[in-house]
Amino acid sequence: MKAKEALGLIITVLSLLIFAYEILYVGLVTRNIGVKGDVATDAILISAGFLLIILGPALWLGEVPTNLKKLVEAKTGRKLS
Amino acid sequence: MDATPVILILVVVLVVYGLAYVFYGKRILEKKVVRASPDRVTPAYEKFDGIDYVPANKYVLYGHHFASIAGAGPIVGPALAMVWGWGLPLIWVLFGNVFIGAVHDYLSMMASVRHGGVSIMSISENVMGRKAKYVFLAYVWFALVLVLAAFFSVASSTFVGTPTAATISVLFMPIALLFGLLVYRTGVSVKTGTVIALVLLILALFYSLNVPLYLTYEAWVVVLSLYSMLAAALPVWYLLQPRDYINAYLLWAFVALAIIGALLTFNYSFTGPIYTSFAGPGTLIGALAGTSTGKASIAYFWPTVPLVIACGALSGFHSVVGSGTTSKQLSNELDALLVGYGGMLTEGAVSSLAVITPIALAWNFAALASATGLPVSEVLLKAGVNTTATPIITGLGGADRFTVGYGLEQAVAWSRIFGPGVFESAFLTFKTFAAWALSAFVLTTLDTSNRLARFAWRELFDWLKPRNELAYKAITNRWVASVIPVVLGAIMAYPKIEVYIPELNKTTVVYAYSIVWPAFAGTNQLLAALALLTAALWAYAIQKVRGGTSLLIMIPALFLWITVTAGLIWWLYAVVPGLPPLYQVGAGTIVAISVVLDFLLIGLFITGLRRARS
């Protein structure tokens, strides 16, 4: 596993943990996330999770999917690197 | 109040769109103008790069295109235009949609597909010359930065005002990513992936309804800026395609519910008038409320209607999407009609069936209560609308008119099935659902705009490539090109500035972008006119389309150009003198420059047309 992929995996796991905590625990227990009119820790955490969950898998699994490559190769007859 | 039954409008809208798609779209545009062929290899394959040029499934691309072109415009514009009565906005939406907007979107996309996926701005070089291309590109890039600023602000305000919309937006992203990874990485079929994603989406919707997410306006601007930068730079197959595909289901549900609502309220008549006046208040076209120009009836339906109703009928932004992200993902030329022409008709359906029809039905609250026997005033009061002070729906702001109108139509409809006991809860649920739909439209447009700004930026610097490839690569690097518009957009959306209004002798606080925002409506529609003229010229000069078919494109293009140019000149004459000095400098200067560019580009169009004829 390359360093970039390992970092992506760590970020993905971290973001999933944040999501699980905020959604399944904080949200269900308190019936809201964050404090109205304020920048509370929970709101910062879930916002960070929202951004990290986009970035993490992109680094971890960011290569162009094989089936997509095959589709293009079949249509164009060109070998993709 | 008039006696037009809801069902009549539903039938008219569906029949017009159905006929337009088959007879104009399929038989004329696809077969005679574009001569689309499934055998031609599209840029998505030819220039495949795994990031922006990636072939997409027809329905995925339709979802992307529809979700991207539909921002706040198809909702807020028609809602505001209702002060003319519901008839004129409906006619403009139908006419504009079929003969201008959908043609403009489809031809921009196909012209781009035939030119390697470059933007309509770059295509103008082939028919209008090199100068036109760079003028056009710079103009669009600045317009996109302005869109980013406005949508950062609109989305942040929506999330603060409706915190449950923030919850669903945050939950939506991992669901979309999961769908993409399942389909592309694990080989799960699109059908199975869709079912899994939709089940999760429904659970997320129920969760969001009960758990609001609170953050401040400023914090949302920062979060959305970072999101926009990430989403614009990452490969389309990873986030954009799955996100827009799943999002389209949410938006289809929104349109489908509007149709069901109209069917269930079929025999009720609209409580609003078909026509009020040809002249609306100046606030409709950007004059400040409370000033003499704001109160004056200076917003004449013609030529100012395109400045009020944008996306629902036609919008220049669409040509940038069609010839930007969409053309780079089209895998088969025959898919383009559904994506481009069909996508625009769907957006028209949002305006006509989900905005104009519900507002026309719920226009007069007392009349609606009397016709349905439901406690309209009591329920509205609980939702913060005092019907004594605001007896008709046009007393509310644009977005509120839409959410209240949509909520009331749905509540009336479902009360007929389940009894009056569900009226209040149905109203509150569907009013929230309408706000979610609005924020979903805005959010998808937000990151597409940034990606499009990146494309425009890259094409703007293409002259540098043969001279210094290293410098070109550094300047057009996808992360660099994504950060610049985001930073500029956030700078305009974040700070508040004080504006002195001499006529009222008071100071008001506004977000910085709003100083130039009044110019956007006009410049965006000017872009639509110029893009349609370019597409018409492309059909004439390159596709060699002649006779009645050519005129069918040329005449609406010229009509639009005349309308928008007249509207902008009227705006400079009637609205600008009443604006505070800062607005006059900001928005006034932009529109004045745009009008000059407008005449320059129409000159280049005429030259191009003469050259093509000879």
The band of B438, judged by pLDDT with boundaries at 50, 70 and 90, is: confident
Mean per-residue pLDDT, B484-510: 84
A61 touches chain B (CB under 8 A): yes
Residues of B whose CB is below 8 A from A55: 230
Predicted confidence (pLDDT) at residue B127 exceeds the cutoff of 90: no
pLDDT digits (tens, 9 = 90+) for B319-338: 999 999 999 999 999 999 99
Whether A58 sits inside 8 A of B234 (CB atoms) is yes
For the beta carbon of residue B562, count every other beta carbon within 10 angstroms.
13
For residues A37 and A78, is the Cβ–Cβ distance under 8 A?
Answer: no
B41 touches chain A (CB under 8 A): yes
Q: What percent of chain B has pLDDT over 70?
A: 100
A21 touches chain B (CB under 8 A): no
Which residues fall within 8 angstroms of residue B344, CB to CB, at 6 or more apart?
B69, B97, B101, B102, B104, B105, B106, B318
pLDDT at residue B437, as a whole number: 83
Least confident of B162-176, B453-467, B503-517: B503-517
Whether A32 sits inside 8 A of B226 (CB atoms) is no
pLDDT digits (tens, 9 = 90+) for B220-238: 999 999 999 999 999 998 9
Q: Which residue has the higher pLDDT, B377 or B252?
A: B377
The residue of chain B with its CA nearest to that of A16 is B174
Tell me, yes or no, whether A64 lies in a domain.
Answer: yes
Least confident of B14-18, B250-254, B493-497, B526-530: B493-497
Predicted confidence (pLDDT) at residue B371 exceeds the cutoff of 90: yes
For residues B70 and B443, is the Cβ–Cβ distance under 8 A?
Answer: no
Q: Which of A35, A51, A76 sits opposite B45 (nearest CB)?
A: A76
Distance from CA of B379 to the nearest CA of A (A): 24
The band of A61, judged by pLDDT with boundaries at 50, 70 and 90, is: confident
Domains contained in chain A, number? 1
pLDDT at residue B223, as a whole number: 95
For the beta carbon of residue B195, count every other beta carbon within 10 angstroms.
12
pLDDT digits (tens, 9 = 90+) for B272-283: 999 999 999 998
Mean pLDDT of chain B: 91
Predicted confidence (pLDDT) at residue B1 exceeds the cutoff of 60: no
The band of B251, judged by pLDDT with boundaries at 50, 70 and 90, is: confident
pLDDT at residue B211, as a whole number: 94
Number of H helices, E strands in chain A: 4, 0
Mean per-residue pLDDT, B558-567: 95
Distance CA(A21)–CA(B51), nearest Å, equals: 33
pLDDT at residue B454, as a whole number: 93
Q: Which domains occur in chain B, in start order?
A: 6-613 (1.20.1740.10)
The band of B11, judged by pLDDT with boundaries at 50, 70 and 90, is: very high
pLDDT at residue B2, as a whole number: 64
Tell me, yes or no, whether A57 lies in a domain.
Answer: yes
Torsion sign over Cα B156, B161, B171, B355: negative
> Cα angle at B603 between B602 and B605, to 5 degrees?
60
pLDDT at residue B399, as a whole number: 83
Tell me, yes or no, whether A81 lies in a domain.
Answer: no
Tell me, yes or no, whether A19 lies in a domain.
Answer: yes
B 211-270 residues with CB below 8 A of A? Answer: 211-216, 219, 223, 226-227, 230-231, 234-235, 237-239
The residue of chain B with its CA nearest to that of A44 is B215
Tell me, yes or no, whether A21 lies in a domain.
Answer: yes
pLDDT digits (tens, 9 = 90+) for B180-212: 889 888 888 888 999 999 999 999 988 998 999
Tell me, yes or no, whether A9 lies in a domain.
Answer: yes
Distance from CA of A66 to the nearest CA of B (A): 8
pLDDT digits (tens, 9 = 90+) for B57-93: 898 899 889 988 887 788 889 999 999 999 999 999 9
Nearest to B372 by CA among B455, B281, B265, B287: B265
Question: What's the ipTM?
Answer: 0.94
Structural domain for A58, as ranges: 3-76
A24 touches chain B (CB under 8 A): no
Distance from CA of B320 to the nearest CA of A (A): 25
Distance CA(B453)–CA(B229), nearest Å, equals: 11
pLDDT at residue B594, as a whole number: 86
Whether A23 sits inside 8 A of B173 (CB atoms) is no
Q: Which of B187, B215, B235 sits opposite A43 (nearest CB)?
A: B215
